[in-house]
Amino acid sequence: MQVSLSGKTALVTGASRGIGRAIAKRLADAGANIAFTYKASEEKAHALQQELTSLGVKALALKADAVSFSEAQTVVDKTLSAFGSVHILVNNAGITRDTLLMRMSEAQWDEVIANNLKSAFNYTKAVTRSMMQQREGRIINITSIIGLVGNAGQANYAASKAGLIGFTKAIAKELASRNILANAVAPGWIDTEMTDALADELKKQMEASIPLKRSGTAEEVANAVLFLASPLASYITGECLRVDGGMAM
Ligand code: NAP
């Protein structure tokens, strides 16, 4: 079956860079109109909007802090008035504030939980009514293998990403009767600015510990999102799909 999202609209949070950007491009490539958010990278967001439009779909870049519930509602309202519907929501926006628990401040804990977990609540809540009315929806949450296996120095991040997996399963059960499918994608070690910040020595150690002996690309994560957004995944809900080269098996 040819994967086509023609006539569908996808909303991707945090798509100015990295994995979100690759997801927006992949879904647009399959024919979906794309609304996407960013927080600070104005130029990159506008460049992406142009790139998506050149693929022949409609694209809308919206500046919004994913932590804000009211901004999420505004983003969804603007997307609905521009495109008429939201069929696919990808909760991708996320941050790290890594440090050992002994040194972790309350602010570092709160910031990561708000950006990575509350943000998904904000956008899911904002799209649910219209998805329920149209009796169709796909919600895809970008978690992390750290939410499955934990990691020293990432207690806040691991908790947020494990929370996201629980959230995915709960909404999968709540929304299944309305034909809204919810799944999580758990990337492992992916080359983006998020991982670029880490020391070269740590990167080498990480790569050595991956069965496929390399980091992944944002495009490889985007391919998994495309699959879960497509008719090919019509009987999959409440799943957490690792895209990690075998790192967390
Ligand atoms: P990245 O390169 O740091 O990019 C993060 C993106 O999220 C940027 O577009 C950023 O927008 C946006 N963003 C951050 N906070 C936001 C907020 N409050 N509101 C709106 N947008 C916000 O990160 P990445 O590596 O692509 O990660 C994307 C997702 O994948 C995250 O959820 C991350 O936890 C997850 N993940 C990544 C890896 C990895 O190895 N890279 C592994 C597992 C999971 P601005 O540019 O405007 O700031």
pLDDT in tens, 153-169: 999 999 999 999 999 99
The pLDDT value recorded for residue 105 is 98
Q: Kindly state the percentage of the chain with pLDDT values over 90.
A: 94
Q: What is the residue-averaged pLDDT of the chain?
A: 97
In this prediction, residue 188 carries a pLDDT of 97
192: CA distance to ligand 1 center in Å?
Answer: 9
| Residue bearing tokens 């609540």 | 121
What is the pLDDT at residue 199? 79
CA dist., res. 224 & res. 114, Å (int): 25
| Residue 131 CB less than 6 A away from ligand 1 | no
- pLDDT the model gives residue 170: 99
**pLDDT 10s digits, 166-190:** 999 999 999 999 999 999 999 999 9
**pLDDT 10s digits, 70-123:** 999 999 999 999 999 999 999 999 999 999 999 999 999 999 999 999 999 999
For residue 200, the model assigns a pLDDT of 85
Is any ligand 1 atom within 6 A of the Cβ of residue 170? no
Q: What pLDDT shows up at residue 3? A: 93
Rounded average pLDDT over 28-39: 98
State pLDDT tens for residues 132-148. 999 999 999 999 999 99
Nearest atom within ligand 1 for CA of residue 221: 30
The yes/no answer on whether domain 9-242 falls in CATH 3.40.50.720 is yes
pLDDT band at 198 (very low <50, low <70, confident <90, very high): confident
Phi/psi at 58 (5° precision): -85, 145
* Distance from residue 93's CA to the centre of ligand 1 (Å): 5
Query: Is pLDDT above 80 for 1?
Result: no
Q: Which of 194, 215, 225 to mutate to test the pocket of ligand 1 (most atoms within 8 A of CB)?
A: 194
Any idea what DSSP says for residue 233?
G
Query: Could you tell me which of 90, 88, 60 has the C-alpha nearest to residue 75?
Result: 60
Q: Is the CB of 40 under 6 A from ligand 1?
A: yes
- The answer, yes or no, to whether any atom of ligand 1 lies below 6 A from the CB of 65, is yes
Q: How far apart are CA 249 and CA 229, in angstroms?
A: 24
Q: Average pLDDT of 187-214?
A: 90
Q: Could you give the C-alpha distances from 207 to 43, 83, 245, in angstroms and in order?
A: 32, 42, 10
Neighbours of 174 (CB within 10 A): 12
> Hey, where are the domains in the chain?
9-242
